[in-house]
Amino acid sequence: MTSILLPRPDDWHLHLRDDEMLSAVAGYSAKRFRHALVMPNLRPPITSSADAAAYRARILDQVDEGSSFVPLMTLFASSELDLEDLRSGSESGVVKAVKFYPPGATTNSDQAKGSLGSLHELMEVLVELDMRLLVHAESTDPDVDVFDREAKFLDRQLAPVCERYPELKVTVEHVSTAAGVDFVNAHPQVVASVTPHHLARERGDLLASGMKPDLFCKPVINSASDRAALVAAATGGDSGFFLGTDSAPHTSTAKYAPTVAAGIFNAAYGLEVVAEVFHRAGAIDNLGAFVSVNGAAVYGYEPSDEQIRLTRVESRDVGESKLVTAIGDVVMFGVEEAAHWIVEPV
């Protein structure tokens, strides 16, 4: 029987939404993770330190009293961002990072203003503050194939920024391709978060037997060879790669609509999914680095003093496979893997 002790993990890329959905999903992340880097793409987006503080308060209102869970807040990058407010938010500890979305790339990113290459004043302030730029790395050029969007964005848009601002610290969020892994390895100031679903699935799972809306996300789950590159990077112990679940809940009404909402809800079982990936790769001893150490170091934290135990079993009854909320059902990703793992605090 495989059993491993780990420092309590952190989630370095999380969508909690707001209102009824926030109330339904926040407890799953708070139960598993010490810190969570919360994405700002609400409608309207989080664009000021006051917005971030208010959103953090709403999140904490949905967490059990006595929980040690800490949401870390981000701002939505825009040409209209108030840079003095950003400085103030950084100094007060309210704002941890700034997130860039290509306009139209994913949920609520139509609100973005300005291309990455046009945000020169923001880049200069981020360097000044030693604050990290988070990047959704997808080209929205209609001439670019959907499976090539990450590679094209990195080459055409992020590479020039990294060259112009070598001191700028960058996280490529939810890296999804071998090209993304290569880009991180080629740029010392760049690291990457990796999701459970990109580690555990490839595009055949999404498309081969009919489109699976519950596996549709942005960037899309890519090829088997891309998945293999991600698994090698994650399980190999490289400190530049770490867990960011990109858990992004949508109701089944939105997932099964004519235009499928992009996002996978994995907060409940994402840790089990990653554990199974590492187990199958024969790299379970490196799991702690990926989920508890690497990302913490990138964002300036020591690993948690709290511990959890993961134990692999032949089979168990998972229980929940969907979350029933006041606004609709949300399908949970990772039920198959969760049937093989018990996660418990120590």
Phi first, then psi, for residue 291 (nearest 5°) are -100, -15
Peptide bond into 142 cis (omega under 30): no
CA distance 87 to 242: 27
Peptide bond into 44 cis (omega under 30): yes
Pairing of strands 307-312, 341-345: antiparallel
Q: Which of 11, 61, 246, 285 is catalytic?
A: 246
For residues 196 and 334, the answer to whether their CB atoms sit within 8 Å is yes
Residue 246 a catalytic site member: yes
Instruction: Give kind and range of the element (H or E) at residue 278.
Output: helix 270-280
For residues 286 and 235, the answer to whether their CB atoms sit within 8 Å is yes
Pairing of strands 341-345, 11-14: unpaired
Phi first, then psi, for residue 246 (nearest 5°) are 50, 35
Using alpha carbons, select from 345, 346, 233, 232 the residue that is nearest to residue 294: 233
Rounded to whole angstroms, what are the CA distances from 149 to 177, 240, 328? 10, 22, 31
Number of Cβ within a 10 Å radius of residue 189 = 14
Using alpha carbons, select from 27, 44, 16 the residue that is nearest to residue 109: 44
Q: How many residues does the chain have?
A: 346
For residues 73 and 47, the answer to whether their CB atoms sit within 8 Å is no
For residues 105 and 136, the answer to whether their CB atoms sit within 8 Å is yes
Q: What is the 8-class DSSP label of residue 123?
A: H
User: Per DSSP, what are the bridge partners of residue 323?
Assistant: 330
User: Per DSSP, what are the bridge partners of residue 311?
Assistant: 3, 342
For residues 183 and 240, the answer to whether their CB atoms sit within 8 Å is no
Active-site positions read 246
